[in-house]
Every structure is written in C-alpha cells, then in structure tokens.
A and B are shown apart, each in its own frame.
Chain A
Amino acid sequence: MSEMSQNKASQEALLTIEAVERIFGGERKLFGGHNPAVHAVQGLSLDVKKGETLGVVGESGCGKSTLARLVVGLDLPTSGTITFAGEDLTALARKDRNALARKVQYVFQDPVASLNPRKTIRTILEAPLKHLTDLNADGREQRLAELLQAVNLAPEFLERYPHEFSGGQAQRIGIARALAAGPELIVLDEPVSALDVSVQAQVLNLLDKLKDDFGLTYIFISHDLSVVESVSDRVAVMYFGRMAELGPAKEIFRHPLHPYTDLLMRSAPAPGRHDLMSEDASAELPDPYSPPAGCAFAARCGHKTEKCLAAKPAPDEAVSGAKHFAACYHPLGQA
C-alpha cells in the first residue's frame, strides 16, 4: 500500500513547517521575573507532501500533540511559520478560523471524550456542515447520509447519543465529523490508541480507504511503531520537542540512524518475541525546565561522546540518501 501511495504522492508540499517553536509558560510575573517556561516544540521544520501519510512517533510528552494542535490552529506557534498550500496558516487561524477548518481537520485520541455527551450524533455531525459549508437543509441531509456511508455506520445511529457507542463506532463518528467539510489534510492524533486491536484494524483499514476515495493527506500521530509503520509513507521521530529522525518509513524502520529510534524499535513488544531489550532504569527524560545544552538523548545514549554533550546536533546532522535525516553526531550503521 505504501508503495502505491508513494507514487501518488506528488512532490509538492501541502504543509510546510519552518523553525516552529511553542513555549508554554514564561509569562511575566506580577512582581518582576518570569514563570518557568517549557519548550514543548523547538526548532521543528518539516514538509508534508500532498497525498502522503506522514507518521509521527515519540514518547509521551515529546510534543506530538502540540505539533498536531499547531497544525490545525487550535494553538499558535510562539515563533516560526506554518504554511498550508502557500498560505500562512497562523495568520489564517487568527483571521478566519473557519477557512482553516475547511482545509485542515483533526481526529482525537479519545473518541468518546471528543463527542459531546449531551448531543445526538446528528447534531454533532451537522455542526461542521452548518458552520463550514453553505449547504442547505436538504444538502446537509444528503451529505450526512454520504458521511455515514463512508465510515460504515447505519443511518439509524444519527439519533443516538455518544455513550451508546463502542469506542470503534465513536471513532468512526469522529472521522466522519473530520471529513464533513471536505478537508485536504487530516491530523490524526493517536486515532487508534484507545481501541482494541480488532477494532483498531477496522479503523486503520477505513482510514486507508477514505484516503484513496477522497484524496486526503494524513499526519498520523502514534506511539505505536508497528501501527505507524503500517500506515506511513514517511516517518518523523520526535524526542523532547525536537526532530530526532525523519525519513521514508521503510528506511527508518530498516536502518534507523538515530539511537533513539533504535531504542524504540527494540523496546516494542511483538507477538512471539521473548527477549525484551531494556535500558538502565536510571535513564530518565531530561528536565524540561532545565534542558541540557547538548543532545537531549545523551543521558540514555550508549554512543555519546564529549561532542554530544557540548552542542545540540542539527536536525540534518546525519544524512542517508536524499530523504533520510537524523539529529545525531554518531548515527548508527555509518562509520
């Protein structure tokens, strides 16, 4: 599947993220000084090409969701620019949020929490049609039917309330809502993490089909490497708010450059795999309030040298081929 969509993916970038930074906290205090600041995302640059699926992986707190919220305009970057199809996305989010919502949509991690418990599915799905499209009542009704058909739900579900649905059904509703206004890019933030494996497979297959049917572009965020591998054309590995490695899915998983990617892969349990790689327990994430001067992964890295502790490696410090980069001075598999 990835082979096919890779060919389809044109080289033109739909979304461009350049040197984006998002700092939380750090406001001036009432009596001088500043509140402590956390860099949730820092120095992040990346392209999303039209028609591709970009997978984003990383541990909790590494900035995946912040990135997602920046892309849909739920949050604004502290600095840096995000452009969508040549247009400044940040400016658009400020000026005309609905125009942005027509182009970029979001699917949430917790399917049930993302549906208002006191609204029927009809009300929930009609909202984007009412506010984002200029369909009349008949048109909306028709579109509702199409949407339900697209995500494989029976029409009688429209009059029900969210708590009457299983996780998988609720996530289909979430997907239908994202599709409603006909977006070009959908950001999927851990869309299957809350689902059972059997249901997860249903939803992944559905996403695959919708992408083909509607010519969508996905940013697919997950902490599950095997899921990301199975859906992505390219993968971005994030660590501590920065890009650790970026490249074609196949290459990243076959020949990781960054020691962190390698660690993730070896830690992932798989059926039939008895040995578990486990690093030293003392290896902890760095303190976000006092980030290290050098490579953030150094405390957990077996390959670190003086150089790593002194300065941060650039995102493209290590290069393999034309499209595979890693922020590491001593990449794996290279002399």
Chain B
Amino acid sequence: MTETTLSAPAKPAKKSARPGTLALLLNNSLATGGLIVLALICLIALAAPILPLPDPDVTAPADRLKPIFSEDHLLGTDHLGRDLLSRLIWGSRVSLAVGLSATVIAAFFGSLLGLVAGYAGGRTDTIIMRGIDMVMAFPYILLALAIVAVLGPGLLNALYAIALVNIPFFARNIRGITLGLSRREFVDAARLSGKSPPQILFLEILPNVLPVIVITMSTTVGWMILETAGLSFLGLGAQPPQADLGSMLGEGRKILFTAPHVSIIPGLMIFALVMSINLFGDGVRDILDPRLRAGSLTRPVSRTAVERNKADIPAPSEKQGVLDVRQMRTEFQIGSSVYKAVGGVDLNLQQGECLGVVGESGSGKSVTAMSIMGLVPTPPGRIAGGAAYLEGEDLFAASDRRIRDLRGGSVAYVFQDPLSTLHPLFTVGAQLTEAITTHQPMSRAKARDKAIDLLSLVRIPNARERLDAYPHELSGGMRQRVCIAMALANDAKVLIADEPTTALDVTVQSQILTLMNGLRRERNAAILFITHDFGVVSAICDRVAVMYAGRIVETGTTDEVLNSPQHPYTAKLIECVPVLGEPERRLDAIEGRPPVVNNLPAGCAFADRCPHVQPACRQGEISLDMSSGTRGVRCLFPLTSGASA
C-alpha cells in the first residue's frame, strides 16, 4: 500500500493494493542490477569535477603506458602518459551527455513529426512519411558519416548526426500510435467540446503518447551512446585531446597488442554503460506495459494454477452428467487484495442440455467458464477450491497434457469475438484442418474433407470455396459460424459459449442461435451458454443459472425462472429488460452497483440493493436452497410467485 502511494503521490490511495512502480521494478532483478550499475556510473561521472583526479588532458611522456595498478595511476596511463582513470571518468561524462542529448533531440523532433503526421493524416502524413522513408533508405551509419563529413568532425556535429539518423525511428513509432489514438472516440469528443486541432494534439493525444516516448527513449539511449562512440572511434567525434569513450577506444586500437588495457578499459566501460541502460530500459518498458501493470509480476502461464485444499475436494453430485462443477472458487490476487471472482459455483450439465448462465457485467460468468478448462491467466488468477468433473474425471487434478488434449477436443469454447479465436494470417481451411489433425491423426486430404463437412454443418454456403477465405473476408456472422465449426471439429461433448452472439446483429444472432440449438439436438452435445440477455436465454436454454457477485443466486428451468423469479435480484433484472411491443412499460432500474468482489459483505451480497432486506440477511452464509431437483434460490425471503419485486 505504501508503495502505491509512494509512486503516485498526487492520486489518492486506491482501495486495491496494486504493486507500485518501484516495487515492480525492484522485482525485476536484471533491471535492478542495470539501475544500480547505471546510477553508479552516473554518480561518478557527475562527481568528476570534485573527485581528486589528475587533469585528463595533461600529457606526461615520461609516464607513458603504465600498466594497471601502478602507483598514482590506478588504471595506468595511455600512450601520452595521461591518467586512464581520469580520462575514463571524464570520457564517460562526455559520452553520457552526448548520448542523452542526442536522444532528447531525436525524441523531440521525431515525436513531433510523428504526432503531426499521425494526426493530420492525408497529404501532410504522406509528405512527412515519404521524407522519413528516404532518410531510412540509407544505411544508418553511412548516413551519420555523410552528415559529419558535411558538417566537419567534432563532438557537437557527431551529436547532431546521431540525433538526425534516429529521428525516423521515433517518428514512425509515434505516428503509428497517434494514428490509432486519433481515431478514438475521446478525440472526437474533444473536437465536439470545441478544442482546436493543436489543443487536441498536444493536450489530448500527447499525454497518451508520452509513455511510449519514454519507453522508446529508454530503449534507445544505449544505442545512441554506442553510435557516438562509433563516430569518435573513427575520429569523427570527440577531437583530441578531449576524451570520450569512443575516442579512447580509437587511440588504444593502435597499441592493442602492446598495451591492451588502454583499449580494454574504455571498451568495458562502454559495455557496462550500454548493458546497464538496456537492462534498465527493458525493465521500464515492462513496467509501463499495461498487462504487467495489472498486477502480475511474471508472464501468465498456460494453465490456471490450482491451489485447493486436498482434504476438501467435493465429490461428484449424484446427478453425474457430462460436466459437473462443484463448489468451484476462483480468485485473483492483485497486490495484497484477493478478488473472489467465483465464490463456490455448482453447475451440472446433462447430455444435450443447454444451461444458460446470466448476470451483469463482472458477476463472474466468464471467469466461471474459463476456470473449467484452466484458461484463467495465472498470475493473477488461481483456482482456490472445488472441482470440475468431466464424465467423472476431475479436471483440476488432470495433467497439463491431458488438459491440452481435452481443450478443443471434448470441451470446446466459442468466444464473443471470433477474431480473437481465428488467426488473421491463415485461411479458414488451414485453421480448421489444424484443429482436426491436432486431436485426430488423419491425412490432410481427409482432414480437408472433414473441414468441408463442418462448414456445411454450420450452414456456410459454398463450403469448398470458403475454405480458402481469410477471416477478414468473412462477415461477423460467418466468422462466428467458423468458430462454432472449429469447436465441433472433434465431437465436443461440452460446448462452452461465452456471449457468442453479443457482437452480432439481431438477424445474424437468431441464425446462430437456431444453428446452435439444432446442433446440440443432432450431436447431443451439452452447451454452457453464457449471456447477459434474457431474450437469448429464452430462445435456447433449457435451464438457467443467475449469477451475482461470483455466486449463483437462483437456478431453475428457463420458464420457471423467467415467469416466477424467486430471488429479488432476478426479478429486478427481468423488469429492467425493455420488451418489444410494450413501449409503455416503465423500465425499473436497480439502484446502486454490485459489490466489489475483494470486499464482499457478510451475508447476502445483494442486501444493499434489495427492497426486501431484513437484518437477518446480513448475517452469515446464505445457502442455495434447492426446492426441487432443478430449482434453487439463495435468499432468506424468496418471492412467492405472483408477488413482484
């Protein structure tokens, strides 16, 4: 918590304890090492004037080429008898200053060009970017050499040359990002707020581009120092007697075999400097990477970690079925707080059955779906308890290999956005045949035939020709059909569909729903259908489970739940839905917001919004009370049919 406030003193401390910037950086040992080395070098370089060093430029022919650890000359002397330690420190100072200034200049002009090109677009963009392309068409170092040749040798000219050749790099990077940002809605909104183009560019877009500029700078400073050293090495940068790391290296080169330390010492310094800057720069980049920022300190692994109490694994229910989820709990660890996204969910799916899971955004529907096959990213997620049985086999105890085989095999997923499932660079046919052959060894020709069958099965006209289409050549509805075909490729027993029609138009949605409904009848596959739309539930689900704050609050057959909801939340939720043909119906909103799952109240999670709340509701666990085999409600004072919320 203190770290969070420390890194962002201006903002009030947030409720969730996310790791602070410094904590994240220190967690990365390479970056920390880089930072320490870099800080040390910078400190020494800055302190050069006050350190008891001999003048770096005073020659002493009598003392030439003294070895390391000589008296008075800790690092020896060069061919003119100058003290190497002093030259090294003063030289590092110069190299650092030149590298940093070149970076700042390149970043300033490059970003400016990129911002203007990306925002203005059209002709301005074309002209700027063609100019930049021309600069980039020359080999990098050649261009720098040419510039120095024109301007004449000298440290300052070398600096300009290095800055100039790096401008295109910044310009391109920043232009791409600006282009993306200027199509964003907030830019249109600023325009409608009366802001002028320069105001929009510098006050709205620039703050969003700034992190990228910083990242690009931190990853290029090292190279710029190296390039300056290169120019100096060739005698085009620092002029004698001034020392910088490159020129020291260049002077030492002539006597590399007689007195290697004269060149090795600046060489090592360049290495240490560039290496530490790059390690630190990578660390900075990782921190500004929003995904890491979200709290995980390492990249997610391919399967959700299972950390459940071995003694407390629930047995399968009597109902058995294809999929039997028991008391499943999934948590996210973010900083020091734990989000109980799924808090003990029971689901049971029989063959050929379609079970709907409904609930508001953030109620834990997706996490429930993803947990079953271990698709929740770890970190920050983990399965903290419960079990999921696929035909009696405990999925949380299965080996990684087994899970890989089952994914896309017996259990298949269909997601909301088909583009996230389909690879844009491969044809539909290639992706389908791959899905088939990873689970069933067969010849390519046979797999292709099967792919055609699958596409026809999901009612794609001209299946044979469509095999060669790329995802972007298909409409949204077609793409979703392809995803369903892929899910069916290996005779899945369970289809988990997470809002598969939410992004589609109503007419296409009804086609897809009809298709899925037919398929489960034909193939006897069970469907876990996640949606927030009661209309969709009515159309396809046999049973429905309503989720609130990570738990199922009501379950029953679709008709039972829709016609006589017993949980006040379900009743309210149904009343919010506008119905076609009943425009006069007043929409009854639910006041307030769902509780945040890192801080659930004791007792009923809906208590703060419930019109029927009683003191008893806020005390102790409320269990899901099953009144029949299928019907259950988690409420102390359930509504009786007829009464309304």
Contacts and interface: CB of A to CB of B under 8 A. Distances in A.
A and B bound? yes
A281 B193 contact: no
Interface stretch (A36-44, A108-116, A308-316): A108-116
B505 A279 contact: no
Of A132, A229, A267, most buried by chain B (CB within 10 Å of CB) is A267
A323 interface: no
Nearest to A300: B507
Interface string A120-151: 00000001101110000000000000000000
A118 interface: yes
Nearest to A183: B192
B538 A270 contact: yes
B205 to A, nearest CB: 9
12 contacts: A97-B191, A108-B189, A116-B186, A117-B186, A119-B204, A178-B192, A202-B589, A205-B589, A249-B583, A267-B506, A269-B535, A269-B539
A271 B506 contact: no
Interface in A259-304: 263-274, 276-279, 281-282, 284-285
Interface in A27-81: 59-60, 72, 74
Contacts of A161: 11
Interface size class of B (residues with CB under 8 A): 35 or more
Interface in B490-535: 505-511, 513-515, 517, 532-535
Contacts of A230: 578, 583, 585, 587
Interface in B561-591: 562-563, 572-574, 576-581, 583-585, 587-591
A271 B589 contact: no
Nearest to B478: A284
B315 interface: no
Contacts of B188: 74, 106, 108, 114
B580 A253 contact: yes
Contact of A177 (B193, B195, B507, B536): B193
A51 to B, nearest CB: 18
B213 to A, nearest CB: 14
A279 B459 CA distance: 12
Contact of A265 (B535, B537, B580, B583): B580
Contact of A201 (B514, B538, B576): B576
Contact of B589 (A198, A267, A276): A198
Contacts of A200: 576, 587
A272 B535 CA distance: 7
A42 B539 CA distance: 36
B310 interface: no
Interface stretch (A11-19, A82-90, A210-218, A220-228): A220-228
Given A269-B513, A271-B534, A276-B539, A177 B194 contact: no
A302 to B, nearest CB: 14
A131 B195 contact: yes
Given A1-B584, A198-B360, A225-B580, A263 B185 contact: no
Of B194, B537, B584, B589, most buried by chain A (CB within 10 Å of CB) is B194
Given A161-B11, A202-B590, A250-B583, 18 more contacts: A59-B508, A74-B191, A114-B189, A197-B360, A197-B577, A198-B573, A225-B506, A230-B578, A230-B583, A265-B580, A266-B510, A267-B507, A269-B536, A271-B535, A271-B537, A272-B563, A276-B513, A278-B513
3 A-B pairs with the lowest CB-CB distances in the bound complex, closest first: A131-B194, A269-B535, A281-B459
B638 interface: no
Given A60-B476, A202-B589, A105 B580 contact: no
Contacts of A72: 192
A9 B578 CA distance: 24
Contacts of A167: 361
A201 B587 contact: yes
B460 A281 contact: yes
A281 B511 contact: yes
Nearest to B507: A267
Contacts of B193: 101, 127-128, 131-132, 177, 180
A130 to B, nearest CB: 8
